[in-house]
């Protein structure tokens, strides 16, 4: 630190160091400047900041020379290294899609047994399947296939149709109640039935999941006559007509007596869109394998 003298003060006024002035309050040296009793502290700009400024300036000069930098009319200076992020991005994308095509093509065959047993292939394909599911299916079926009001759970072991990937692929490709090729699944309305009978049936169906439904009452007979053909004798579903099991905790619309009464009165016809036109056959099969795998983690509904 260079010594500064205070031209307005007599030398020797500071008892510690010659002309050096120390501000008694802060302990800093002063510059010696004094404006009507206000002295200026000697707090120079830190050296390292100056060095950093110099270094960054130097770096920018090097970068201007080597990398694309300055706009020149409609063009720009290319830099000596000739880097172009646009070209790099396209090359990266090409490499990625070539890599993807390598394994995605294998799903086009639809040999599900072989696909499901190829763990290396599945490991490679799962991130893409998750993305496809998130983009196309999660809005209705939930991010992990947990379903929601009006949309069936895909992550449990109860199926409207089947947990077989071949059948799932068919559902994804052609949809349900979506067009002429779709699977058809309609819960007919039972508005012709006496209100009291409908209410009794609703109570019976609501009690099925807990196993407390009275199997010997008149409601059980009503169920056997009107419902069992589609939902199974005990309401266990699985008949391949798109009618859900009524004996488990997972529901589409709800299985409290009030909601069931509504279902009976107005009927239900849920629509699952057809994806055949939007996704390739390989993508549909990839999703089918993925959806089939959602339920194999555990036997319970993910709700
Ligand atoms: C617009 C909402 C909607 C979207 C998006 C949607 N689904 Fe569905 N999906 C439904 C509905 C509703 C049903 C049930 C139809 C019914 O009630 O019969 C269903 C049924 C299904 C079933 C039959 C389940 C079973 O138990 O058999 C599968 C499998 C399925 N969807 C998979 C998918 C996949 C995979 C995607 C993404 C490509 C998808 N869904 C996108 C609404 C949707
Ligand atoms: C022709 C076949 C058929 C008959 C007969 C039938 N159902 Fe259904 N049921 C279905 C189908 C298909 C669905 C699914 C509809 C959908 O998802 O949109 C369904 C859905 C339901 C649901 C909704 C389940 C949920 O998870 O929310 C209830 C409750 C139900 N049926 C009860 C009954 C009762 C009670 C009867 C007898 C009075 C009956 N069904 C008769 C085909 C049938």
Q: How sure is the predictor about 4, in pLDDT bands with cuts at 50, 70 and 90?
A: low
Cβ(271) – ligand 1 distance below 6 Å: yes
pLDDT > 90: what percent of the chain? 65
Beta-carbon neighbour count of residue 74 at 10 Å? Answer: 5
Cβ(208) – ligand 2 distance below 6 Å: no
Closest-lying ligand 1 atom to the alpha carbon of residue 159: 26
The bound ligand whose nearest atom lies closest to the alpha carbon of 257 is 2
Domains 101-183+271-294 and 195-266 equal at CATH topology level: yes
Closest-lying ligand 1 atom to the alpha carbon of residue 270: 17
Out of 129, 143, 152, mutate this one to test ligand 1's pocket (max ligand atoms within 8 Å of CB): namely 152
pLDDT (tens digit, 9 = 90+) per residue, 193-216? 999 999 999 999 999 999 999 889
Query: Which residue CA neighbors atom 9 of ligand 2 most closely?
Result: 187
* Residue-level pLDDT at 297: 54
Query: Rounded to the nearest whole angstrom, what is the distance from the C-alpha of residue 136 to the centroid of ligand 2?
Result: 26
* Residue-level pLDDT at 40: 85
Q: Are 229 and 219 in contact, with CB atoms under 8 Å apart?
A: no
Question: What is the pLDDT of the chain when averaged over all its residues?
Answer: 88
**Per-residue b or e along 12-40, where b marks 16 or more CB atoms closer than 10 Å to that residue's CB:** eeeeeeebbbbeeeeeebbebeeeeeebe
Query: Rounded to the nearest whole angstrom, what is the distance from the C-alpha of residue 231 to the centroid of ligand 2?
Result: 7
CA distances to 208, 230, 265, 267, 268 from 187, rounded to whole Å, are: 18, 9, 10, 5, 5
For residue 301, pLDDT beyond 80: no
Query: Rounded to the nearest whole angstrom, what is the distance from the C-alpha of residue 125 to the centroid of ligand 1?
Result: 21
Once rounded to an integer, what is the mean pLDDT over residues 132-146? 96
* Residue-level pLDDT at 19: 66
Residue 258 makes CB contacts below 8 A (sequence gap 6+) with 202
CA distances to 29, 95, 198, 210, 268 from 262, rounded to whole Å, are: 87, 54, 9, 20, 9
Q: Shortest CA distance to 206 belongs to which of 157, 154, 257? A: 257
* Residue-level pLDDT at 285: 96
Once rounded to an integer, what is the mean pLDDT over residues 46-75? 92
The token pair at 178 is 């979506």
The token pair at 64 is 């201007």
For residue 256, pLDDT beyond 60: yes
Closest-lying ligand 1 atom to the alpha carbon of residue 287: 35
Cβ(154) – ligand 2 distance below 6 Å: no
Query: Rounded to the nearest whole angstrom, what is the distance from the C-alpha of residue 233 to the centroid of ligand 2?
Result: 13
Extents of the domains making up the chain: 47-76, 101-183+271-294, 195-266
| Domain 195-266 fold | Cytochrome Bc1 Complex; Chain D, domain 2 (1.10.760)
The token pair at 200 is 């009794």
CA distances to 200, 212, 234 from 264, rounded to whole Å, are: 11, 20, 17
| Domain 101-183+271-294 fold | Cytochrome Bc1 Complex; Chain D, domain 2 (1.10.760)
Q: How sure is the predictor about 45, in pLDDT bands with cuts at 50, 70 and 90?
A: confident
Q: Shortest CA distance to 269 belongs to which of 187, 151, 153, 183? A: 187
Closest-lying ligand 2 atom to the alpha carbon of residue 253: 27
pLDDT (tens digit, 9 = 90+) per residue, 143-195? 999 999 999 999 998 899 999 999 999 999 999 999 999 999 999 999 999 99
* Residue-level pLDDT at 12: 44
Query: Which residue CA neighbors atom 41 of ligand 1 most closely?
Result: 137
pLDDT (tens digit, 9 = 90+) per residue, 213-245? 988 989 999 999 999 999 999 999 988 899 999
Once rounded to an integer, what is the mean pLDDT over residues 7-29? 64
pLDDT > 70: what percent of the chain? 91
CA contacts within 13 A on the Cβ side of 269: 10
In the block, tokens 């169906």 appear at 205
Query: Which residue CA neighbors atom 8 of ligand 2 most closely?
Result: 187
For residue 303, pLDDT beyond 60: no
The bound ligand whose nearest atom lies closest to the alpha carbon of 252 is 2
* Residue-level pLDDT at 13: 45
Q: Are 41 and 28 in contact, with CB atoms under 8 Å apart?
A: yes
Once rounded to an integer, what is the mean pLDDT over residues 43-47? 85
* Residue-level pLDDT at 233: 93
Query: Rounded to the nearest whole angstrom, what is the distance from the C-alpha of residue 190 to the centroid of ligand 1?
Result: 25
Once rounded to an integer, what is the mean pLDDT over residues 101-127? 91
Cβ(187) – ligand 2 distance below 6 Å: yes
């Amino acid at each position: 630190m260079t010594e500064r003298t205070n031209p307005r003060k007599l030398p020797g006024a500071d008892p510690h160091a010659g002309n050096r002035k120390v501000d008694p309050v802060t302990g800093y040296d002063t510059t010696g400047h004094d404006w009507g009793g206000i002295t200026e502290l000697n707090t120079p700009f830190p050296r390292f900041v100056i060095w950093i400024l110099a270094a960054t300036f130097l770096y920018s000069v090097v970068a201007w020379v080597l990398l694309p930098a300055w706009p020149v009319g409609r063009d720009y200076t290319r830099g000596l290294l000739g880097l172009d992020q646009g070209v790099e991005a396209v090359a990266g994308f090409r490499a990625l899609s070539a890599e993807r095509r390598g394994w995605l093509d294998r799903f086009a065959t639809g040999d599900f047994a072989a696909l499901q047993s190829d763990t290396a292939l599945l490991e490679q394909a799962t991130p893409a399947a998750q993305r496809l599911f998130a983009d196309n299916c999660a809005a209705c079926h939930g991010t992990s296939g947990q379903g929601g009001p009006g949309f069936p759970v895909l992550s449990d072991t109860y199926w409207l149709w089947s947990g077989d990937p071949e059948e799932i692929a068919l559902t994804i490709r052609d949809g349900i109640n979506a067009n002429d090729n779709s699977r058809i699944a309609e819960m007919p309305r039972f508005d012709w039935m006496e209100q009291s009978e409908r209410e009794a049936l609703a109570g019976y169906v609501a009690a099925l999941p807990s196993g407390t439904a009275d199997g010997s009452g008149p409601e059980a007979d009503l169920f056997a006559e009107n419902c069992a053909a589609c939902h199974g004798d005990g309401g266990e579903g699985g008949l391949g007509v798109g009618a859900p099991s009524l004996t488990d905790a997972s529901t589409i619309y709800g299985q409290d007596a009030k909601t069931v009464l509504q279902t009976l009165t107005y009927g239900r016809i849920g629509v699952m869109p057809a994806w055949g036109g939007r996704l390739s056959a390989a993508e549909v099969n990839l999703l089918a394998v993925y959806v089939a795998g959602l339920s194999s983690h555990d036997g319970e509904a993910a709700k």
